[in-house]
A and B are shown apart, each in its own frame.
Chain A
Amino acid sequence: EAGVAQSPRYKIIEKRQSVAFWCNPISGHATLYWYQQILGQGPKLLIQFQNNGVVDDSQLPKDRFSAERLKGVDSTLKIQPAKLEDSAVYLCASSQRGLAVQETQYFGPGTRLLVL
């Protein structure tokens, strides 16, 4: 079974530029999560999708961050414009049903973003 795929693996941009990250979850997984992990901290949930609907985006900075999962499969996370404090690893995870809270989430390798 293929795991969660993410691209790119690394990205360096200047502040005020825009950037987009892509995630392809495990086939058949209904729930997709985007986490932000700042150096030295644990991951923080940005947004959770159930199929193509948003379940939780309470910690997403909506003035600059946006995410979509149009067909309920892969997803894109965008930052526009980027700030220095957005430098972090962006992790994507998926789970089979998601609303069954005892499930394991499977994580991708992450995209490391550096904003200069």
Chain B
Amino acid sequence: KQEVTQIPAALSVPEGENLVLNCSFTDSAIYNLQWFRQDPGKGLTSLLLIQSSQREQTSGRLNASLDKSSGRSTLYIAASQPGDSATYLCAVVWGTSYGKLTFGQGTILTVHP
């Protein structure tokens, strides 16, 4: 069964700290992997999309890496800010689907001043 798991379920850090969110998936035959951000009462916003042929993607203070052989991805957030507080979701598209996203359960991040 194709599944996505995220650890930890929740994370609280002081402002300015660098942090890593983890995502693992059961089937290495992925097409791509995306990281989303979800704010309370709002929809999902795509942060980074990594194609299966890529090892990492960067956007500002965010860096996402992909290791298909081990079935893992990490989202690195540098110099965290209170505005980064949100739920972060990892989602995978496997090669056998028509763009269908399979999500992990998310990591709730709180950055306190």
Contact = CB atoms under 8 A, between A and B. Distances in A.
Contacts of A42: 4, 6, 89, 91, 103-106
A99 B98 contact: yes
Contact of A40 (B43, B44, B91, B105): B105
Name which of B101, B105, B106 has the most chain A CB atoms within 10 A of its CB.
Answer: B101
Contact of B46 (A41, A48, A55, A105): A105
A101 B31 contact: yes
Q: How large is the interface on A (under 10, 10 to 19, 20 to 34, 35 or more residues)?
A: 20 to 34
Interface string B30-64: 01101000000111111001010000000000000
A98 B43 contact: no
Given A41-B105, A101-B32, A55 B98 contact: yes
A101 B89 contact: no
Question: What secondary structure prevails in chain B residues at the interface with A?
Answer: strand
B112 interface: no
A42 to B, nearest CB: 3
Contacts of B100: 45, 48, 56
A106 B91 CA distance: 14
Given A40-B105, A42-B4, A42-B104, A100 B99 contact: yes
B99 A101 contact: yes
Contacts of A109: 41-43
A98 B99 CA distance: 6
A97 B63 CA distance: 27
A95 B103 contact: no
A109 B41 CA distance: 7
Interface of B: 4, 6, 31-32, 34, 41-46, 49, 51, 89, 91, 93, 95, 97-106
Given A41-B105, A56-B97, 16 more contacts: A33-B101, A42-B4, A42-B91, A42-B105, A42-B106, A50-B98, A55-B98, A91-B44, A93-B44, A98-B98, A98-B99, A101-B31, A101-B98, A102-B49, A104-B49, A105-B99
